[in-house]
Homo-oligomer: A and B are copies of this chain.
Amino acid sequence: MERVDLRRFFAPRSIAVIGASQDFTRITGKPLYYLRKHGYTGRLYPVNPRYSSIDGLPCYSTIAEVPDEIDLALIAVNFRMVPQVLRECSDKGVRFATIFSSGFAETGEEGKRIQKEIAEIAREGGIRVCGPNCQGAVDLHNNTAAAFSAALDVYPLIKGSVGFATQSGAMGFSIFNLAQSQGIGFSYIVSTGNEMDLTCVDFMQFMLDDPNTSVICAYLEGIRDGKAFVELAERAQDVGKPIVVLKTGKSDVGSRAASSHTAALTGSDDVFDALCRQKGIIRVSDIDELIDVTRIITSFATPPSGRGLGIISTSGGGGVLCADIADELGLKVPEFEKEGLEKIKSSIPAFGSARNPVDMTAQVINTAEGFRNVLQAVVDDPGVDALVVVITMIVGTSATKMALDLARIKKTTHKPIAVVWTAGESLIREQLEILKEASVPYYSCPSRALRSLARYLQFGNYLKNRSRTPSVIELRRHIGFSSEKYRSGVLSEHGSKEVLSRFEIPVTREICTDSVERAVDFAREIGYPVALKIDSPDILHKTEAGLIRLNIRSEEELVRSFRDLLGIAKSKYPQARINGVLVQEMVSPGVEVMVGVKRDPQFGPTVVFGLGGIFVEVLKDVTMRVAPVDEAEALKMIREIRGYPILEGVRGSAKSDVKALAGIISRVSYMALALPNLSELDINPVIVFPEGSGAKAVDALMIFD
């Protein structure tokens, strides 16, 4: 995937503002106003035939007249004039343009047509475009506020290491403003609108290489190029930068609205969610969660790992509440080691509790060293990976001392510490200022603090345990297959299994024949009992159609059933293509699961796994990944379904061969990549035998585009 060099987009040496207005309260007036307000140091050229100057700057009739090279053109004219303006930019040799104007693909047919036209102009002229229908971009470290959002009314903006790409300008700048008001510093914010050319993924790719950016946030409504997004996610792991994504369109109503609102095509949200799990992307579900998680990440540069939470509270109740929430988030509240426990005991009143969660009681403030010692002991405990400190209604000088103790210890440890200070801000302004200054994140309720810690720990655990996904080329060498296109349509059970076999996926021993003699010979060869099934690409529900006979125990039964089945099939389905009768081994008992493939329009083939029968049908107990998945990832899939204990063995039944099952899931994912026109695969059931005895595809169905 091409990576765009966006340095001159974010930090242009010169900017032309086309359609600039003298009225700084209007969208057309704001970009110039904000650029100057936030100290843009490059050369600025307003362009508008109606003015000769704006706010002391000479104003030009057209961009052609501007006596300078232009790195970035900001375009704020009526959408019908955009093609003309963009042509003039092209003639001028402009490198980047941000089109604020709306009225394009997000509206209707005329808009779509004009958007197509300007895309063509831009491509020919070599202009890379942000927008249209966007609110612009800000490079905080370069003081370049090339945007019109009211979020830029705030001065000064807080510089920092958060890079933020957003498809929705309104939501994005809102989040930016809320985060800034909570003291979070940014490197960039860019809103991409209709993404006619440059997409959020392009900007995020740039930020991955950018030294000013340590964490990348995105607000997404849809993803156009799933492959580019996957590549981005993988590269983010390599460079170790967390990606935090708020993506809307989870629900049906939500995605209906998304497609009418921007021109984004909302992909299947389940696939996106699976991808996040698979690639270590931190997916959040609301604005505050995005801000909270980002604050933890920017406050503690080294991703933590593990799941041990140390809880310290000035009130027993606060500690218990944290323990409850930690439990729900999958964090552990470990017992402390003996040494630390003793240290804590000697630092708190007798009626407190030294065990995790520590109840220091409010009286800990009566000694000079109490809180500091407890804090140090908990930080030092080897089982503690992150800390939460709950301070209730403690105010005044004691509170200030606690804040200073927190600020001090923050400097000496990599372990993330979140503070929950449950008092109204007016009572603890000074103390919160100390925490802010020291980058100790604070919250007024436990769940926000713990959710953020949990998400960061999850990310750290992911980084620690991740396995490199093998490249497709490696896979091909490994598996020894070549890409192959099948004729479109349905493959019968037997045909599907022939394909599976070529990818080393074990299937039942079987032949497809229209000769009863061959059937008898084969049954004798593999031994009774056997199963008979009609094999036809046109009859998908063989059981319901009565075209399966199981547990055939003798030659006579086989001959009779063979003729019966053919007779029924021909009379019931006179139009169906009948390949013959499948003569199939009866497999020994095991656990029924299903493995499938679906092709997602954005992310390509995905592999789906679940327990068979009612688990899939009633409980929808399935999980998915974007192909390919290696065996380690496949094992994670197997373990994350709710019914997993059944594979582990319940009520004294044997443990199933999950390793063999993981191998099948993984090979299915490789196969899905190797068959470019495979649109659907259903292996249902795969029977998983007891440990050491493998697993086998018993029925299968493939559909090609």
Contact = CB atoms under 8 A, between A and B. Distances in A.
Interface of A: 102-103, 106-107, 111, 149-151, 153-154, 167-168, 170-171, 173-175, 177-178, 180-181, 219, 221, 246, 248-255, 257-258, 260-262, 285-289, 314-321, 323-328, 333, 350-351, 353, 355-357, 359, 362, 392-396, 422-427, 444-448, 614, 617-619, 642-643, 645-646, 650-651
A257 B170 contact: no
A102 B351 CA distance: 9
Contact of A261 (B287, B353, B423, B642): B353
Nearest to A106: B351
Contacts of A106: 351
A533 to B, nearest CB: 19
Contacts of A221: 317, 320
A423 B643 contact: no
A258 B447 contact: no
Contacts of A102: 351
Contact of A393 (B174, B316, B362, B445): B174
Nearest to A444: B178
A333 B251 CA distance: 10
B285 A447 contact: yes
A87 B666 CA distance: 78
Contact of A171 (B173, B248, B289, B422): B422
A317 B447 contact: no
Q: How many copies does the complex hold?
A: 2
B351 A103 contact: yes
Given A261-B359, A353-B257, A651-B617, A327 B170 contact: no
A617 B154 contact: no
Contacts of A650: 614, 617-618
Nearest to A172: B317
A594 to B, nearest CB: 14
Contact of A448 (B173, B288, B320): B288
Given A362-B170, A445-B286, A251 B327 contact: yes
Nearest to A168: B317
A115 to B, nearest CB: 13
25 contacts: A102-B351, A107-B350, A153-B427, A154-B427, A167-B317, A173-B392, A173-B393, A174-B315, A174-B392, A248-B321, A251-B326, A252-B327, A253-B323, A253-B357, A254-B321, A255-B320, A257-B316, A257-B355, A258-B316, A260-B359, A261-B317, A261-B319, A285-B324, A285-B447, A619-B643
Contacts of A645: 617-618
Nearest to A315: B170
A171 B392 contact: yes
B422 A251 contact: no
A170 B318 contact: yes
Given A257-B323, A618-B646, A392 B288 contact: no
A425 B181 contact: yes
Contacts of A642: 618-619
